[in-house]
Structure 1
Amino acid sequence: MTRTADCDRRDCRGCAADGTGFCHVTGRPLAGRDGPGGLTESPPTAGTKRRIAADRLFTARPAGDGLLDLPFVETPSPEDLVVEDWQAAPGGRVCGWQGCTQVVGRSYAGQPALITGYCSRCAHPFDFTPQLAPGDVVGEQYRVVGCLANGGLGWVYLAQDTQLEDHLVALKGLIHTGDRVALHLAGEERRYLTLLDHPGIVRIINYVTHPSRGAGEEDGRTGYIVMEFVDGMSLSQVRDRIARREGPFGEPRVLEYVLAYGCRILDALDYLHRESLVYCDLKPNNVMHHAGRVKLIDLGAVRRLGEPGGTVLGARGFMAPEVVDHGAGGLSVRSDLFSVGMTLRALSDEAGPRVPGLGSESYERAVARATAEDPRSRFASARDMAEQLRGVLREVRALRTEREHPEPSTLFAPTAALLDASLGRVPPLERWLSGERRPVLDVGLPAPERVPHDLPVPHPDPEDPGAALLAQPTTSGPRRLIQQLYASGRESVEIPLRQCRAHIELGELQSARERLTAAQAALGTAAAYDWRVPWHEGLLHLAHRDTTAAEGDFDRVYGSLPGEYAPKLALGYCAEHRGDTAAAERYYQAVWQRNRSQGSAAFGLARLRLAAGDRTGAVDLLSGVPEVSRHYDAARTACVRILAGRLPGGDAGALPDLSHLTEALTRLPRLYLDEGHRTGPARDRLEAELLDVALDWIRAVTTPAAERNDGLFGTDDEEFTIRSRLEHKLRGLARQARTPAGLGTLVDLANRVRPKTRF
């Protein structure tokens, strides 16, 4: 015989462990393995043929269109969920006798788990048979219908409240009432549950006792928690449906459901954490999807934060490594968040990659941060994690539907600056004074040192001592602002970070580095885990024109904040700058599809289209910037310039065709220029640029006017008309010149394009 995983005794020369707790070759108890600090494996719910059959009775209708909407789970009659051929769970249960943490009653070699037997360590008998039978009345009020399942601590029964019109409730008792650990945990669950009131957490109704079936109980009675009956599917059952691609769980939207589960679970955990409680045992079995909602059930492992010692109940595959290593000493808010991440991963691993663009990567980064080995690398709170998951959810939804799903960021302020060097601006007068006769349209990629001014700006941490000062509006320039912040004398992280950005604005990069170092010193050991540090490192590297280093910094920020716009804009720029158009496209699209008011993403995508010679594609993108966006006017200006511009290619650039020039002339009068006036210097410069290109176009055209649908202006002599209008505009530009030399240059240009007289 071969040694089995259940027997690790050195004196055993081969045994047949059969799940009774004893080797039937040597007759000796099988050795067990203890977890640290009273760590106890949370057993799975018992599987039964009846329950498996009942699972098939659940149906799921399609979800609504809301962001957090889930498929609507329709349940069968509650009586159909009653287990008639109950069995013990194949994973066994904790012995619990006088604190023994050995797992007993495991299934073996494909045989059902044992209902009765002996503990391999303490040799105490165990008995997992249900203590209540259909028809029993518990607490003189609750009539038992039957068993629903056996959870980590005891059987759960369906019952009717005879004093409330037979309202259905769930009774939870102990499998073995001599189990002191279980008794303690049941008491803790009752105490915590009576204090909790949240729609995402199972509600306790009452606590009653009933005569015990077996002998030897301490007082001859067993306690039962009376809870609301939550009808629905556990997330373990949902996971199976995802794997089978069944119903709504087989739709392309399935990852959005997984993210919605995460947001709803985190909402419930945030409530617990604010009550100084940790859940400890989050796993798919302990989350119920009922109707269109989610509810945490089986709170038997809930503990108060900082509570020393005691048994920690949890599923090892979903338990944070510090809890596995240190038991109760490793419990924290972040250990709960680890379990959330593992629960989401259990669901999404079955879904497979069915998300376009950057959505899958953003999701994976969110889960990776939640499940980081080092607790300090994880999200700081359930609220922080939920905020990032919502951002990822909006991104995934927008990429799938190509409809925007915006939400203001709580971490970054929107900026009036635009990630564009020239496309959205009316050309300056120097465009005609440079001496270049046929300038090619500048696609507008900003220089790296300019980009720190164009990216979103972090909001000050509201908990920072300097936050109130930084929130005050100011008209001071960067130099004066730096001085004022020094004068405040406050111990702060946000103040040196703001000074760092001001020094970058002034080009004082050594001083900027010093202020960032001061912020890191104020953060102490937390600096290695704070996203603000790599964000400002990235800004500094851009200011030094080191886009490679900056890209690494912004990638770290993306890993910390996968639901935010800002790091994706920064990464899009870095990828575009190094010529990786595919990566730049993914980053910009993730921002643009989610929020069409993000003009920087639209301009980035437009530049990529122009680099590929797609004039129409660039215009279509920029035309999608909505009027509510602060970048709307710049986008409309860019459209006219792109339609009428010379694109890179050939000796003099690729000229637009007639349809593009006509569209540009149509759009030009509708632009908001010169403070809304119908005429003015900006409008004159833009029209002069358009006419300059139109003149080259008409000279390159060989088709007779009669065959060109009346040409650009619908006149008999198109070239004469264009030259006349361009001459007039250039003479108007001459009046904008600041020097005699500039005036002379513009007058010479006007004379050069002046049409020949017809007489």
Structure 2
Amino acid sequence: MTACTRAGCAGTLQDGFCDECGLAPVGGAHGPVSTPVTAGGPVSTRSTASRRGSTRSGRSRRGRLGAGLIEVPVVPYRDPATAVLANPEVAEHRRFCGNCEAPVGRGRDGKPGRTEGFCTKCGSTYSFSPKLAKGDVVAGQYEVLGCLAHGGLGWLYLAQDRNVNGRWVVLKGLLDTGDAEAMAAAVAERRFLAEVEHPNIVKIYNFVEHPDPRTGSLVGYIVMEYVGGQSLKQLRSERDERGRLRPMPVGQAIAYAIEVLPALGYLHGQGLLYCDFKPDNVIQSEEQLKLIDLGAVRRIDDEDSAVYKTDGYCAPELSEQGPSIDADLYTVGRTLAVLTFNFDYVGAHRDSLPGPADVPVLARHDSFHRFLVRATDREPDRRFVSAEEMGEQLTGVLREVMAAEDGVPRPGFSTLFTPERRVFGAHDWPSLLNPAELVTALPVPQVDTGDPAAGLLATVATDDPAGLLAALSGARLSTVEVKLRIARAHIELGDLASAEALLVEVHGEDEWDWRVDWYRGLAALAASDPAEAYARFNAVYDVVPGEAAPKLAMAAALECRGDYVTAGRYYETVWRTDHSHLSAAFGLARTRLRSADRAGAIEALDSVPASSSHHLVAQLAAIRACTCDRVPAEVVEDELIAAANRLEAVELDAERRALVSVEVLTCARDRAVAGAVGSGRTLLGAALTEPDLSRGLERCYRELARLAPTKSQRIALVDQANAVRPLTWV
């Protein structure tokens, strides 16, 4: 092996890179970074651990791509020289007039189209020929190696900076030097890039000019950071056996969006809009993403600059209303859709999405589908309001998607909802849920810390609704949070009219506040109207698809309605993703039991961790799942033995153990009475025959009689013992 030549590094070179610092050798062919848009280049399938090192620290680390929830394949560094195009030209089907967007430069009668000329529709000049060639030196500083690719505003060239130790850079020139709007956009790009400083946005180093070899006029060039790897469009270039683009794994695509959303949020915070987000404009290098091609960036208050967009990705209102934050976020949603499934996004579904019936991945991941629907809603006010909000919900969706893919829970803290206030449906399992009891058990929205009364509400320590109303009665503040808290107290007290009056006020102040629907859902449960409750919680789910609380509430409402199959699906989604939602485990077990899936019910109960305070409750429920509501002839001996073994394994007080033993022995005795013949094994010390099981029951009832607190209870239990006692001659 060859030792690394970098000072202070003790690593060795493997596959052209150091196994310690992760960099190419000093003076080697590999530069530290690669091109923004390149052709070819394999994607590494090795894990991050297989490439030790950091481009900065020299220590082994993992990038944050994937948010710690999924391992995204690494895109390795690449020799920049291999990225240069051998025959740089713009395909004819991509040649359009920069002024009127009419097709130009098209071939006729078997002859190729011209790369330079005049638009026959508006008369504007066009040129698709590279302006720089290998060996050209721009501004006396940047030596050109060749063309890398072409973008919306022009060619990209690879060059080396003679003044900075041969640093690789990218020069971006204009597509059409005679287009005033294109020139203005290039100048705008230079201005905005000079202001931007974010790790996920390409850096600008300089802005230079160089004569056009055809006209002699000066052409402007942006000098940009040279980013390694491949674009998301290239990463999705693999095709299936039918020649169609193979969709990217949903989790991987979501990880990319989560990584790049902070960059968009940063731009928005600087008063800038990106305007043209799409797979072409995002590059992955190693474990980092970079936004490139900021030619369409403009200030939020800019109403005069030309709007650059890409059909199939841009928001439908863009032409009439102009760019906006929600229009930027719309493009993220469209990009996610394009990456994860095939559809006609520039034709039939240019401003819409296909449904789950046509797209299996949407049917499989309901939360992902709802996320895309909200992100790409035709009504701008219904979309996500910020990159931060979008990223938070998308992270929740990613947790759910990955848990569904590999069965490993991905718990996460919610900033919008409290945890469950009480585990419902556990201690009286498997009794039917009482809708009114859910009102004080389900999570509730967190208090908005920006509300003027947030501090006041934090000091109100009582959970008693009457006490809370008394505490807030003298408060001078009447904010949204105060109104919602009082409304919740009224719901818990059953005063639904007073609660609705306050919710109407909150809705009047902000018609998009989803918390109004949440509390109306709780009010519907209090009124024993699970159908209305489901509708309200479903509306909340549409708005916050990454949250567990709406799914848990919908599952409970559906269970109250008797729709056990659908309720079970939502319970399963919640429990599979996060084992802190214990109500979901017991709900999943109940719905499976009522769907005649006893084994599935027991499996759900067994998944409650041993560290949970409800582990014992779950084990007792699993025993009941074996014994309750059974047709004696259908009871399987192995199930009874398993229930008995489970009972003997748990720690219980004498009274509780005797009560549960009665249930198991009664089930076994009924089975024997129905004619089942035992195999010779014993159950809780009794042979599987009617006389022995009856004697076992008698012993349990007499044990309960000894523990009974009153005389009347003892007498009743002794009578039961005598009733089950087998007949004898003595």
Q: Which TM-score band (shorter chain)? A: 0.7 to 0.9
1:112/1:319 CA distance change after superposition, 3 Å = farther
Which whole-Å CA distance do the structure 2 matches of 1:731 and 1:103 have between them? 94
1:126/1:698 CA distance change after superposition, 3 Å = closer
The aligned counterpart of 2:225 is: 228
The equivalent position to 1:499 in structure 2, one of 483, 486, 489, is 486
The equivalent position to 2:557 in structure 1, one of 546, 555, 574, is 574
Residues 181-196 of structure 1 mapped to structure 2, 5 A cutoff: 181-196=181-196
C-alpha contact (below 8 Å) 1:692/1:726 kept by paired residues: no
Confirm whether residue 713 of structure 1 aligns to residue 713 of structure 2.
no
Deviation at 1:292, TM superposition (A): 3.6
**Gaps (5+ residues) in structure 2?**
1-34, 49-65, 344-355
Which whole-Å CA distance do the structure 2 matches of 1:696 and 1:468 have between them? 61
Confirm whether residue 752 of structure 1 aligns to residue 726 of structure 2.
no
Residues 644-723 of structure 1 mapped to structure 2, 5 A cutoff: 645-649=627-631, 657-668=636-647, 671=650, 678-679=653-654, 682=656, 685-693=659-667, 696=670, 703=677, 707-713=679-685, 718-719=692-693, 721-723=695-697
Greater displacement, 659-668 / 586-595? 659-668
C-alpha contact (below 8 Å) 1:685/1:733 kept by paired residues: no
Residues 317-332 of structure 1 mapped to structure 2, 5 A cutoff: 317-327=312-322, 331-332=323-324
1:580/1:357 CA distance change after superposition, 3 Å = farther
C-alpha contact (below 8 Å) 1:357/1:589 kept by paired residues: no
Residues 618-657 of structure 1 mapped to structure 2, 5 A cutoff: 618-643=601-626, 645-649=627-631, 657=636
| SS of equivalent residue, structure 1 residue 314 | coil
- Per chain length, whose mean CA-contact separation is higher, i.e. which structure has more relative contact order (CA < 8 Å, sep 6+)? 1
| SS of equivalent residue, structure 1 residue 55 | coil
Q: Which AA in structure 2 matches 1:632?
A: H
Which whole-Å CA distance do the structure 2 matches of 1:578 and 1:113 have between them? 67
The aligned counterpart of 1:58 is: 42
| SS of equivalent residue, structure 2 residue 384 | coil
Task: Tell me the alpha carbon deviations over residues 723-758 of structure 1, each in whole angstroms, 9 at most, x when there is no partner.
Answer: 4422323314531x5xx7656544543453467789
The aligned counterpart of 2:84 is: 82
The aligned counterpart of 2:327 is: 335
Deviation at 1:241, TM superposition (A): 1.9
Which whole-Å CA distance do the structure 1 matches of 2:74 and 2:618 have between them? 42
Which whole-Å CA distance do the structure 1 matches of 2:230 and 2:237 have between them? 11
The equivalent position to 1:520 in structure 2, one of 484, 491, 507, is 507
Task: Tell me the alpha carbon deviations over residues 236-291 of structure 1, each in whole angstroms, 9 at most, x when there is no partner.
Answer: 333332666999x969x712122122212212212222222110111222122333
Q: Once superposed, what is the RMSD of the aligned Cα atoms?
A: 3.4
Task: Tell me the alpha carbon deviations over residues 117-166 of structure 1, each in whole angstroms, 9 at most, x when there is no partner.
Answer: 22456634343432221111223322100111222222210011223443
Which whole-Å CA distance do the structure 2 matches of 1:749 and 1:600 have between them? 35
1:103/1:193 CA distance change after superposition, 3 Å = farther
Deviation at 1:453, TM superposition (A): 2.6
Q: Which AA in structure 1 matches 2:478?
A: E
Greater displacement, 552-561 / 160-169? 160-169
The aligned counterpart of 2:340 is: 348
**Gaps (5+ residues) in structure 1?**
1-50, 427-441
Deviation at 1:170, TM superposition (A): 0.6
Confirm whether residue 481 of structure 1 aligns to residue 486 of structure 2.
no
C-alpha contact (below 8 Å) 1:688/1:730 kept by paired residues: no
Q: Which AA in structure 2 matches 1:451?
A: L
Q: TM-score, normalised by structure 1?
A: 0.78
| SS of equivalent residue, structure 1 residue 568 | helix
1:687/1:383 CA distance change after superposition, 3 Å = same
Deviation at 1:683, TM superposition (A): 5.0
The equivalent position to 1:729 in structure 2, one of 694, 699, 703, is 703
The aligned counterpart of 1:140 is: 140
Q: TM-score, normalised by structure 2?
A: 0.81
1:723/1:413 CA distance change after superposition, 3 Å = same
C-alpha contact (below 8 Å) 1:727/1:750 kept by paired residues: yes
| SS of equivalent residue, structure 2 residue 238 | helix
1:295/1:517 CA distance change after superposition, 3 Å = same
C-alpha contact (below 8 Å) 2:507/2:513 kept by paired residues: no
The aligned counterpart of 1:557 is: 540
1:340/1:702 CA distance change after superposition, 3 Å = closer
Confirm whether residue 241 of structure 1 aligns to residue 230 of structure 2.
no
The equivalent position to 1:490 in structure 2, one of 477, 498, 505, is 477
Q: Which AA in structure 2 matches 1:61?
A: T
Residues 268-283 of structure 1 mapped to structure 2, 5 A cutoff: 268-283=263-278
The equivalent position to 2:71 in structure 1, one of 59, 66, 69, is 69
The equivalent position to 1:414 in structure 2, one of 406, 411, 419, is 419
Confirm whether residue 387 of structure 1 aligns to residue 392 of structure 2.
yes
Q: Which AA in structure 2 matches 1:115?
A: T
1:545/1:744 CA distance change after superposition, 3 Å = same
Greater displacement, 254-263 / 332-341? 254-263
1:629/1:488 CA distance change after superposition, 3 Å = farther
C-alpha contact (below 8 Å) 2:697/2:724 kept by paired residues: yes
1:563/1:629 CA distance change after superposition, 3 Å = farther
Which whole-Å CA distance do the structure 1 matches of 2:682 and 2:397 have between them? 52
Which whole-Å CA distance do the structure 1 matches of 2:541 and 2:42 have between them? 39
| SS of equivalent residue, structure 1 residue 207 | strand
Deviation at 1:446, TM superposition (A): 0.4
Q: Which AA in structure 1 matches 2:402?
A: R
